[in-house]
Amino acid sequence: MKQIVIISGKGGTGKTVITAAFAALAKNKVMADCDVDAADLHLLLHPDIKQRQEFKGGKAAIIDKEKCTKCEKCIEVCRFSAISKNNDEINPHTKNFGVGININPISCEGCAVCSYICPVGAIQMKENISGEWFISDTKYGPMVHAKLGIAEENSGKLVTLVRKKAKEIAERQNLDWVIVDGAPGIGCPVIASISGIDCALVVTEPTLSGLHDADRVIGVAKHFGILVKLVVNKYDLNMEMTKNIEKYCKDNNIQLIGKVSFDESIVKALVEGKTIIEYPDGKAKKEIIKIWNELQK
């Protein structure tokens, strides 16, 4: 079993288009969408959800107003200004808002200091449901994906869970490939996406910022000892910059595994909710097929 992740230094480079194409081309595989903050692989693979689970990514402080003595010690120790005192009735139907000590769940970072400092035990830490994860069937095979709630944290933890479930499916069904649509950038979700992977395919664009962002994410992958290959998407829009990227790859011993032309058929396929492999033959389709064939080697 080989695990391949498609990543990029920034969003919008076309990594999901290429991931979906690989899903259509590969045999005996499972897909994992690890861009949990803005998941969109499902838009092209149209999964039929078979299993849905809540994701609890952390804890938040809850105050019991009946126990609270309004000593305000919790307000003094909260570094995030999440706790305040209010003398006006706002909402009598909730434990967190209204007269007395209030905890703002959006500002609360779940550090639990307030629960330790409370002399009467009025503050408890409650697990926070911050998203969902799914196991689905697609016409190309099983898929594991997730959705993180708005402004929720612990996306790296959710990415790790998605990858773990995808790997379990691959081992249980004796599959050959785990194809991962990774998160953009260089943050925690990306590190969770690439850890323990066999190959990271970096997708970039022929722009100065595209090369800069690709260099950053390549640096992260190399730090963790991950084999890196690079694809230039829409390379023919800026041939001078494409040559600079080719020189960068040569100077840094990175295999430039392929270049994908700007092709309106990709846009048309996206509008119809199809992978480029399902669409009539075009330059981009042929080039992506070549990239997949090369990647398998």
Name the fold adopted by 57-129.
Alpha-Beta Plaits (3.30.70)
One-character DSSP codes across 130-159: EEEEEEEEETTEEEEEEEEPTT---HHHHH
Sorted by sequence, the CB contacts under 8 Å of residue 250 that are 6+ apart come out as none
CATH of domain 2-46+139-296: 3.40.50.300
Question: Token pair for residue 34?
Answer: 């690890």
297 residues of the chain, pLDDT tens digit each: 999 999 998 888 999 999 999 999 999 999 999 998 889 999 999 999 999 999 987 788 999 988 999 999 999 999 999 999 886 655 544 445 556 889 988 888 889 999 999 999 999 998 888 889 999 999 999 999 999 887 677 788 899 999 999 999 999 999 999 999 998 999 888 999 998 999 999 999 999 999 999 999 999 999 999 999 999 999 999 999 999 999 999 999 999 999 999 999 999 999 999 999 998 878 999 999 999 999 988
Residue 96 CA to residue 65 CA, distance in Å, equals 8
CA distance 85 to 80: 15
Three-state SS for 282-296 is CHHHHHHHHHHHHHH
Domain definitions of the chain by residue range? 2-46+139-296, 57-129
